[in-house]
Amino acid sequence: MTRHRTLRRMLAFAAIAALPLPANAHKLAEKGTPVTIADSTLSVTPTRDWNRLSGRIGAHAERWTLDGEQLNDVTFYAGVAPGEPLLRERSKKKDPLPKFRQDMLLAEVPELLERTYRTGRDARDFQLSGAAPGKFLGRDGVTFAYQVTDSEGLIRKGEARAAAVNGKLYLVTFDAPRLHYFDQVVDDARALMGSATL
């Protein structure tokens, strides 16, 4: 059991070495220009410039950031159909992720995100700090806030909005370290989330 950590480090090192060069990896979303998210019908109009990360973490997911996804991360989940997970599964059979379900209540969406973070991102703690009805995409939805601790012990704050439209889940989250980064960018992130339309 003692060398579990060493092995993990070796694997992490190998993974880094195997990464492709990030030439033209990311795109710029310019202020005032509408952008379509993850080839869906969801679009947003940023109020400042954002970076759109190219790595697809889920079939309907797209990640935006200002300083890197570890420091500020707006993730859109645009039209998750019933039976689909939020993030891409490492192994559909061995490590399945929780799925969105047709009969899921909006009050259960925070639980879906929590279980996804715990399973897919190795989150160790997730505290919901608020969940209230709120408009999203012009529909009745849910707005919620949380605090999540990752496996390294870093605490992030998060805020999210969600709504179900025609049986599909539309969810947008903003996560950033509790210390400094969350408060620094939260207004920009809220403006971005608020600009989402279908």
Partner 1 sequence: MIRRSTWWAAAAGLLLAGPAAAQPAALPPPYQGAYQPHGVDEIGLWHEADEEERQLAASPLRIRDERLTGYVTSVLCATVGDDRCGSVRVYVIRAPMFNASMTPNGTMRVYSGLLLRLRNEAELATVLGHEFGHYERRHTLAAFKERRSGTDAVAWMALLTSLGASYQTMQNFQNFQLAVYGGFFRHGRDQEREADKLGIAYLNRSSLRPQSATVVWQHMMAEAEASASAKGLKKPNFRYIAFAASHPPYAERAAYLAELAAPDGADRDDGTERYRAALAPFLAQFLDDQIKLNDFGASEYLIQNLATAGWTATLWLKRGDLYRTRGAPRDLAAAADFYAHAVQLDPTLAEAHRGLGLSLMKTGRPSEAVAPLQTYLRLRPDAVDAGMIQTIIPGGPQ
Q: Does 118 bind partner 1 (CB under 8 A)?
A: yes
In order of 127, 128, 159, the CA distances from 131 in angstroms are 11, 7, 10
Q: What is the dihedral of CA 173, 176, 178, 179, to 10 degrees?
A: -160
Residues in 2-41 that interact with partner 1 by CB under 8 A: 2-7
Measured distance CA(165)–CA(107) in Å, rounded: 15
Q: Which residues on adjacent β-strands are paired with residue 141?
A: 134
Type of residue at 132: A
Residues in 47-76 that interact with partner 1 by CB under 8 A: none
Measured distance CA(82)–CA(18) in Å, rounded: 34
Q: Does 81 bind partner 1 (CB under 8 A)?
A: no
Measured distance CA(43)–CA(188) in Å, rounded: 16
CA 80 to chain centroid, in Å, comes to 13
Cβ 107 vs Cβ 140: under 8 Å: no
| CB-nearer residue toward partner 1: 147 or 195 | 147
| CB-nearer residue toward partner 1: 46 or 158 | 158
Q: How far is the CB of 157 from partner 1 (least distance, A)?
A: 13
| CB-nearer residue toward partner 1: 46 or 110 | 110
Options 26-34, 49-57, 72-80, 128-136: segment touching partner 1 (CB under 8 A): 128-136
> Closest by alpha carbon to 166, among 118, 120, 123, 102?
102
- The 140-159 site mask, x for binding partner 1 (CB under 8 A), equals x-x-x----x-x-x-x----
| CB-nearer residue toward partner 1: 6 or 24 | 6
Q: How far is the CB of 77 from partner 1 (least distance, A)?
A: 17
Type of residue at 12: A
Q: Does 180 bind partner 1 (CB under 8 A)?
A: no
| CB-nearer residue toward partner 1: 31 or 92 | 92
Cβ 157 vs Cβ 126: under 8 Å: no
Q: What is the contact surface with partner 1 in residues (CB under 8 A)?
A: 1-7, 93-94, 96-98, 101, 103-108, 110-111, 114-115, 118-119, 124-126, 128-133, 140, 142, 144, 149, 151, 153, 155
